[in-house]
Amino acid sequence: MKYTEREVFAIWLDSFEKIEYKRKSELFSLYGGESIARFVAKHAERIDFLLGKRASLLFGAANGEYTEYILSSLHKKGVIAVTQNSAAYPEELSEVPCPPLVIYARGNASLLKSEKFAVVGSRKSSAFAVAKTEEFTEKLIEAGFTIVTGFAEGADIAAVKAALASGKIIAVLAGGFDHIYPKAHAAIFEKVVLNGLAISEYPPSVPTAAFHFPVRNRIIAGLGKGLLVMSGGKKSGTLYTAGYADGLSKQIFALPYGINELSGAGCNELIRRGAYLTECAEDVLEYYGKEIKTQTPALSEAEREVLSLLKEGAIHIDKLCARLNKRAFELLPVLSMLEIKKLIVRGAGNVYEAL
Amino acid sequence: MLAKVRGFALNGLEGTPVDVEVDAGNDLPSYGIVGLADTAVKESKERVRAAVKNSGKRVPNKKITVNLAPADVKKEGSAFDLAIAVALLKASDQLIADTDEYVFLGELSLDGGIRRIDGILPILISALKAGYKKFIIPKANEREASYLESAVVYPCENLKQVIAHLVGETLIPAGKKRNFSDIAQTASYESDLCFVKGQAAAKRALEIAVGGGHNILFVGPPGTGKTMLARCIPTIMPDMTFDEALECTKIHSVAGVLSDEAGIVILRPFRSPHHTATVVSMTGGGNKAIRPGEISLAHDGVLFLDELPEYSRAALEALRQPLEDRVITVSRANGSVTFPANFMLCASMNPCPCGNLGAKDKICTCTPSQIAKYRARLSGPLMDRIDLQISVDDVKYGDLVSAQSEETSETVRARVNRTREIQRKRFAGESIRTNAAMSEKHIKKYCRLSAGCESVLKSAYEALGLSARARSRVIKVARTVADMADETDIREEHILEAVSYRGGAE
């Protein structure tokens, strides 16, 4: 990967972990067009004034060896650095508060310029929300969107998995690529890199920290044309994402939940504040004037009967047996088949729900 | 003078004949026991002395040497008391009788009474094999000994009786024989499937598990009847055969947990060790004689592990080999013993440490790493041996208006027997008896899948995210489901049903 001098400047500046964003962005906006050597030589006083003791960090590293080292280590790790002054930098991102100087990307970086839509949910999503996330993701992709989401378990990773086949996925991580979090998703990360795109505003060596997550959420909100919240409790991190989206005047979509369903209380709160009540992917697509062809899978007689009953509301297997006057072993194959066809989902405690 | 009578020592579940030799010679009076005896045997000196005195005889003022031969086999326990006392009386000419055809077993009390001992049944079985026919045993062990046809057993209450019998004064009537099937009919389990309301899917899973010999895991929050369901498992297992009962009784007898009332294990054992159980208490062992552990006590029955992830990792991993081999070989410095351990594993766990994961109206307070840690306590190889996972829940039965009355365990057991019969025929030439025991080779041979089944299986993987290791588990369970439906080939609905038994613990 060849970088222009201006890009190298941004990568160089961003590599100093000890210098906070505010100072970096100030230096970048003032001297972003210059070469490193010139910048250090010409503005030494200014740098001293802004950084105090830490100025020596910059002076010590203002040589070709250091930049060569950073660039080659990025290259070795397969990381592409997209800087704020690069053509590949997504414009939407410039709108977010504190736009990242550099976006570190692995995978298909051209996705950054595609039409994006953010889908997020909490780590503790119900089986229903997870299944819905998969369905929404697939349909949104079919309509042409690239899905932007996080990398946590629950709804986020469900969206990632559902999008892998098409490759239209941007996973925004809250730490450097050397420290995939959660570790259990390391295998999925490799697939994302291969088929889609993973990005992070942190250089690869920076470990994930708890405070990165709410900050990271501004990127998810910023990249998406709109934001769909699949699940989230009263204090869920998805509400931060929604807050950023609101600040950027993006449309927020949220799945409605029942009164007692605590894992969706946050979604209901968003709807109360004006989010678009979204029951199916078509609701989102209609808003953007898009359309997809939906095909209903072929159903057997028994499957149709069970499905129509489930459409009336979630139901426990025992009640289902009683309602249809059938035994469990007669219904279980039907229910499994409907699950495989992704028309129903089994929640905790043998409760089945239509999607 | 020298006297010799026959006793038996126990090594694991096997008895070995021991010659109890007593010599009373003219020398400085003393009393010594030789022949690798442990403390309990050495202490018999005092019990024998008092018992003999209190039975109207005396201990001669001579040099008394007791030898337990063969001298290189470790002897432990108090079962030699009676044999030593009889030999002592013979050696001191206080008892003149032919004792060659008897085996003497029993612990003496100071007043001359004979107390019960552990392990009568395994000793009797070994002794019968070795050609011994007549046994003098404690009265308290009478029942345990009454099921062996060929053993002539004389149950005695005290030493006086034994002496009178041997000299021919008052003969003790031989113990009555009892018929196993008569006793077996009188026994019944406390639990019954018909007491469990609802839980239709769980009950079906239990039937499959027992029918195919699969291990089962319940996943669900606390207080949802997991234990109650587990307790029903023995009630739907096939009735115990006499051979099975004997084998179980041997183990329980050696461990000293046999009830004296029945004297034999009639009901399939249900063992539920607490999760603080150590490896040794699970597998067997001990610093003196090697005793059977919980897995052997659950032989031919159910081992129920409540709150599976709370058990120590070592205790759980120790289950792997016996689950495969159906026996456990316990090795200690003083020898190694093989105990049978053909148990069905039934376990339960919460979906997460707080128990609320996935519940709609409750919030799970666990962090993802806590949940991951909780589940990681169960190793992959252990989970590979648990074919069925089901989620249980606290549905209020009041909500249900079911037209179906609950089935009794007896009805289900009849079906289980049929399913087992089909497997017995199928595996007639093989070393295995149940579907659960099938290896990859057996699966290839007996579980041929049609193209339709393969495609269902494949789409189930993709849609439901099944792990690759789940494949053979699903096929084995599908085989059992097909057997229950009396089908030769596995059909798509069998695969689909098998797929539904995943509790999400992985």
Task: Determine the topology of domain A301-354 in CATH.
Answer: Arc Repressor Mutant, subunit A (1.10.10)
Cα separation of A43 and A49, whole Å?
Answer: 10
The residue-averaged pLDDT of B33-43 equals 88
Note whether B471 contacts A: Cβ–Cβ < 8 A: no
Q: Higher confidence at residue B274 or residue A351? A: B274
Q: Cβ contact (<8 Å) for B203 and A328?
A: yes
- Interatomic CA distance for residues A107 and A160, integer angstroms: 14
Compute chain B's Rg from CA coordinates. Answer: 28
Q: Is a pLDDT exceeding 70 seen at residue B399? A: no
| pLDDT given for residue B477 in this prediction | 92
Q: How far apart are CA B243 and CA B461, in angstroms?
A: 43
Tokens (6 digits) for B230: 């587990």
Say whether B199 and A318 touch across the interface (CB within 8 A).
Answer: yes
Rounded average pLDDT over B364-386: 85
pLDDT attached to residue B506: 55
CATH class of A110-287: alpha beta
How far A309 CA sits from the closest chain B CA (Å)?
16
Give the number of beta-carbon pairs within 8 Å between A and B. Answer: 117
pLDDT confidence of residue A149: 95
The single-letter code of the amino acid at B180 is: F
Answer yes or no: is pLDDT of B347 > 60: yes
In residues, how long is chain A? 355
Nearest to B395 among A262, A316, A333 (CB): A316
Q: Does position B72 have pLDDT exceeding 90, yes or no?
A: no
Q: Identify all chain B residues contacting A123, using CB atoms and an 8 Å cutoff.
A: 368
Backbone angles phi, psi at B325, to 5 degrees: -90, -15
Q: Is there a contact between B361 and A262 if contact means CB atoms under 8 Å apart?
A: yes
B203 and chain A in contact, CB less than 8 A: yes
pLDDT digits (tens, 9 = 90+) for A232-242: 988 888 999 99
Q: From the CA of A192, how many Å to the nearest CA of chain B?
A: 17
Question: Which B residues in the span 476-495 are in contact with A, Cβ-Cβ below 8 Å?
Answer: 481, 492-494
pLDDT reading at A307 higher than 60: yes
Q: What is the pLDDT of residues A65-74, one digit of tens each?
A: 899 999 999 9
Q: Residues near B341 by Cβ (< 8 Å), separated by ≥ 6? A: B295, B296, B298, B299, B322, B326, B327, B328
Taking the C-alpha atoms of residue A306 and residue A281, their distance in angstroms, rounded to an integer, is: 23
pLDDT of residue B227: 87
Instruction: Kindly tell me if the per-residue pLDDT of A246 is higher than 90.
Output: yes
Q: Report which of B190, B106, B196, B209 is spatially closest to residue B153, judged by C-alpha positions.
A: B106
pLDDT at B398 over 60: no
Of B198, B361, B364, nearest to A318 by CB-CB distance is B198
| Residues of A whose CB is below 8 A from B199 | 318
Q: What is the pLDDT of residues B431-486, one digit of tens each?
A: 888 898 888 888 888 888 899 889 988 888 888 777 777 888 899 999 999 999 99
**Choice among B6-15, B350-359, B455-464, B487-496 with the minimum mean pLDDT:** B350-359
| Chain B residue at shortest CA distance from A154 | B368
Checking if the pLDDT of A85 tops 90, the result is no
Which residues of B fall within a CB distance of 8 Å from A327? Answer: 200, 204, 404
Task: Using a CB–CB cutoff of 8 Å, tell me whether B466 touches chain A.
Answer: no
Residue A351: its chain B contacts at CB < 8 A?
360, 393
Q: Which of B370, B404, B453, B496 to mutate to test the interface with A (most CBs of A within 10 A)?
A: B496
Residues of A in contact with B403 (CB under 8 A): 322, 325
SS3 content of chain B, % helix, strand, coil (to 5): 40, 20, 40
Q: Which residues of B touch A325 (CB under 8 A)?
A: 403
The domain ranges of chain B are 2-167, 188-499
Provide the phi-psi class of B284: left if phi over 0, else alpha when psi is between -120 and 50, else beta: left
Interface of B with A in 387-416 (CB under 8 A): 391-395, 399-404
Q: Which CATH architecture group holds B2-167?
A: 2-Layer Sandwich (3.30)
Instruction: Give the integer Cα–Cα distance in Å for B328 and B279.
Output: 13
**Using CA of residue A41, residue A42, residue A47, residue A49, what is the dihedral sign?**
positive
Quote the pLDDT of residue A245. 94
- Is 0.85 exceeded by the ipTM? no
Confidence tier at B503 by pLDDT (50, 70, 90) = low
Q: Which residues of A touch B (CB under 8 A)?
A: 123-124, 126-127, 152-153, 182, 184, 233, 258, 260-263, 316-319, 321-322, 325, 327-329, 332-337, 339-342, 346-351
Contacts of B276 (CB under 8 A, 6+ apart): none
Q: What is the mean pLDDT of residues B247-270?
A: 88
Residue B119 contacts residue B76 (beta carbons within 8 Å): no
**Average pLDDT, rounded, for chain B:** 88
Interface test with B, best of A122, A124, A331 (most B CBs within 10 A): A124
Which of A321, A340, A347 is closest, CB to CB, to B360? Answer: A347
Long-range interactions of B164-169: CB distance < 8 A, separation 24+:
B165/B136, B166/B86, B166/B95, B166/B97, B166/B99, B166/B102, B167/B95, B167/B96, B167/B97, B168/B97
**CA dihedral sign, ordered A14, A20, A22, A27:** negative
Would you say residue B400 has pLDDT above 60? no
Extract the tokens encoding A271: 């709807």
pLDDT of residue B125: 93
Rounded alpha-carbon distances, angstroms, from residue A36 to A16, A39, B136: 14, 5, 103
The class that CATH gives domain B188-499 is: alpha beta
